[in-house]
């Protein structure tokens, strides 16, 4: 049966069953960084789901390889329940910003939210770097 073993490059993905998450990428192809260029690889979706949690659960159950954001799978990877594959072909992380309308004086509720959220986001997203 196709899909045995761990792929060493994106070019091997057509031989593997994949679990695709509609919110993140196409169910027909995935794009990877190879050197300074992007490479699109056709994949075979064994299962298409609409949440990252469902994709992770399906991968854990052995349904195939999935592609989710690093912070979504960080706990499962850190605990050894799942393995990260093709990490050398990942795109650079996208920045996360807290955006609010510029005002002379920030409302206290907004200041409290920013003070509470910013360090937690930094810790949470920083820990997900696998």
Nearest to 48 by CA among 82, 20, 83: 20
pLDDT band at 25 (very low <50, low <70, confident <90, very high): low
Long-range contacts at 112-121 (CB < 8 A, ≥ 24 apart): 121/96
C-alpha to C-alpha distance for 44 and 46, rounded to whole angstroms:
6
Q: What is the mean pLDDT of residues 104-117?
A: 90
Q: pLDDT: is 93 or 47 the higher one?
A: 47
At 32 the pLDDT is 94
Cα 97 to its chain centre, rounded Å, is 18
Residue range 10-89 in CATH 3.50.50.100: no
55: confidence class by pLDDT, cuts 50, 70, 90: very high
Instruction: Indicate if the pLDDT at residue 129 is higher than 80.
Output: no
Number of H helices, E strands in the chain: 3, 5
10 closest CA partner among 34, 37, 44, 35: 34
Q: Domains of the chain: which residue ranges?
A: 10-89, 94-130
């Amino acid at each position: 049966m196709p899909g045995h073993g761990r792929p060493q490059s994106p070019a091997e993905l057509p031989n593997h069953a994949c679990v695709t998450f509609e919110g993140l990428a196409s169910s027909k192809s995935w794009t990877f960084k190879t050197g300074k260029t992007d490479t699109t690889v056709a994949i075979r979706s064994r299962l298409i789901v609409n949440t990252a949690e469902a994709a992770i659960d399906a991968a854990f159950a052995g349904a195939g390889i999935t592609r989710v954001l690093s912070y979504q799978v960080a706990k499962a990877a850190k605990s050894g329940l799942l393995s990260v594959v093709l990490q050398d072909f990942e795109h650079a992380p996208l920045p996360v910003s807290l955006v609010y309308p510029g005002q002379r004086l920030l409302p206290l509720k907004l200041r409290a939210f920013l003070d509470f959220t910013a360090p937690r986001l930094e810790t949470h997203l920083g820990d997900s770097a696998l």
